Structure 1
């Protein structure tokens, strides 16, 4: 059975301080990528659980004068996901329009001009739209 903990991570000088509030424990890591493992190891030692049975969420609350780093990272990830979704929709629409225009006899160079892509990319869009 897996147990879940939250580790609150802050930057102190050259170290990442990793606090596990549920256990009132503290450890440190040289690199942020080590914080989860360090937390899991402290939890395992404190609770006699196997490492693979411990799930840790890392909450980066403060780095220097920057507060709520985890919230800002989450916000950036949401923006990136929305951008990727918009890019995917734009690609679908570009393929569709490029194919429709080609079917109407519009030259590939003009399709590229309309879609603000190169002649080669317009050709690819048409091929993908028909494929």
Structure 2
């Protein structure tokens, strides 16, 4: 078998539908949009869930239950492997943001135990995993949890 003999599977390559290319093409004149009406217009489409002015189903159904998601604390995870090369003694949120390890809006920072560290650091963070805590304390580091 040679490279020039290779062909795609049957049905794998489909030609693009060319609309508005003459009446005999089968997609000419109205370009498959039918005659007049909202769907034939440019930009004419209705939003998802719109039922022609009738009260939408999502608003008709009673809402029940409680969702705890809005009270969920979202931590920015930082692994020990990414901290290994840092020369600073104190690791806090400002330093991690400056180094680009934490981005965006988060409620706190959590140190995770993937990787190893060889230096003793002082961590001022919101949460630490059990494996990370063991590794930090093994090399003589300290953890100061922020509330």
TM-score by length of 1: 0.26
Q: Which has the higher strand share?
A: 1
Asked which structure has the greater RCO (Cα within 8 Å, sep 6+), the reply is 1
Give the helix-richer structure, 1 or 2: 1
